[in-house]
Amino acid sequence: MAHVTVIPIMLITSFFQCKTLFSTSLASEQQDVGDAPELRNTMWISKHEPGVILSWNNNLTKEEIEKYTVKYILSYKFFNTTHENEERLQKKKKRINLNLHSGFNAKVKTQLFSKETDDVIKESGWTEFTYKAPPVYIQNFSCIIYNISFFNCTWYIKAEAPEDIQIFFSYRHIGKDFDCQQYIKNARKKNIGCHMKEIYFQPSRKINLNITVRDMKNNSRLSYYKIFTPQTIEKLNPPINISVSLENRSIQIHWKPPPTIGSASSKCFLYEVKITDLKIVNVTGEKYEYPFHKPARKCAAQVRVKKEKCIRNKIWSEWSEPVFIDHEKTVDVMLLSLTLFCLLIFLGGLLILACRRYQCLEVITMPVPHPSDNIKSWLVADNTTRIKCQCKGRCTQMLLWEYQKRMEMRTFNRNV
């Protein structure tokens, strides 16, 4: 028994020794890091159209970089916005697209992680940086693709913009540059939009927009850039082939998706259905059923659509033309079938009663009377005469003789 109990005691002792050695090693590791100089970061900006590249560095030694896992926390927020972007990176730079923002505030923090436990061994404080971009003279810039091949972009000119500026628009797609076909102007003859037609986009290839502000007096210019994926700015047409019916004691609405520049798979679309006096509902399929057997005297159904599943798109189509549901004009298929069946049974019963009452069946089934013997004799005699005429070749004389004989018989009968 004594020999058996020694083994567990030795295992427990070995476990505590290993734990003590690991804790001592970790404490020593943390002490070494703590004795090192305080972590500091430096940040700078380099231009990279259509944005900038924010870079940073620190005072980590080569030994520390090899011994620990180094990660960075970057946080930045554009001017005049409330949303703050935060990312965890292992690289020491970040490309930031300005997208017509006039600058941003950024801060970065460096963290050292143990490669064995993934615990934070050491971290720096936040290092802050502010980038102020050249002045932006336009705002509320937006673009939309509609009817497959039509492309519109609009913007507003800020009140503080110089009087002599003019806005020019172009874009780059699949390696080609395109200038605006037709500018939209305001009362001061300033370009505030661009309309283009017969433009065809590859859905997965990005559109790089270039908005150039030229000071016509000083012959200077500023360029702003914005990037879109075609499918994210496509405004679909309303759904097509919409039909409404009352079936199985419910309203059933069917439709088909509209044409699109991207994937036309049914799983890509999200629909909204609106029926008079009812809440708007989201539908992922191409039909909607609502258990509502007796609608109001006249109510309307409408449907609209956007792409939600395959790619994120916030632009809803317009509502379809209303399709009216009128219980006096809309046919319930089940009710109609039942009504016709009952009507047929009723008419069949009336027909049977009428036939019994007026003996219709007896009249219909009455046998046809046989012809009299005189008619039979005359037909046989007439047939015999015709045969004789054909055989002897004296048809004319026989017929005349027969005719005279009949006339004499008639005269005799009258005299009698």
DSSP-assigned letters across all residues of 53-71: EEEEEE---HHHHHHSEEE
CA distance 373 to 324: 76
pLDDT of residue 51: 78
List Cα–Cα distances, 25 to 19, 28, 67, 148, in angstroms: 10, 5, 14, 66
Report pLDDT for 28.
Answer: 47
Amino acid at 316: W
pLDDT score of 371: 55
Q: Residue 306: beta bridge partners?
A: 270
Output the CA–CA distances (angstroms, integers) from residue 345 to 11, 356, 398, in the order listed: 94, 17, 66
The predicted pLDDT at position 192 comes to: 95
Other C-beta atoms lying within 10 Å of the C-beta of residue 133: 18
Decide: residue 385, CB within 10 A, 0-12 exposed, 13-18 middle, 19+ buried. Answer: middle
Give the separation between CA 413 and CA 415, rounded to whole angstroms: 6
pLDDT at 344: 85
- Residue 49 is classified by DSSP as T
- What is the per-residue DSSP string for 186-247? -TTS-EEEEEE-S----TTS-EEEEEEEEETTTTEEEEEEEEE-GGGGEEPPPPEEEEEEEE
Q: What is the pLDDT of residue 25?
A: 47
Distance CA 70, CA 211 (A): 40
| Sheet (strand 240-247) strand order | 240-247, 250-256, 287-290
Strand partners, 244: 253
In terms of DSSP bridges, do strands 103-113 and 120-123 run parallel, antiparallel, or are they unpaired?
A: antiparallel
Q: How would you write the pLDDT of the chain (416 residues) with one tens digit per residue?
A: 344 444 444 444 454 444 444 444 444 444 454 455 688 899 999 877 667 999 999 988 889 888 999 999 999 999 988 999 999 999 999 999 888 888 999 999 999 999 888 889 888 999 999 999 888 889 899 999 999 999 999 999 998 898 899 999 999 999 899 999 999 999 999 999 999 999 889 888 999 999 999 988 888 888 888 888 999 999 999 999 998 887 777 888 999 999 999 888 888 899 999 988 888 999 999 999 887 655 556 778 999 999 987 888 889 999 999 998 765 544 445 556 667 778 888 888 787 777 776 666 565 566 655 555 555 565 556 566 555 555 555 556 666 677 677 777 766 666 65
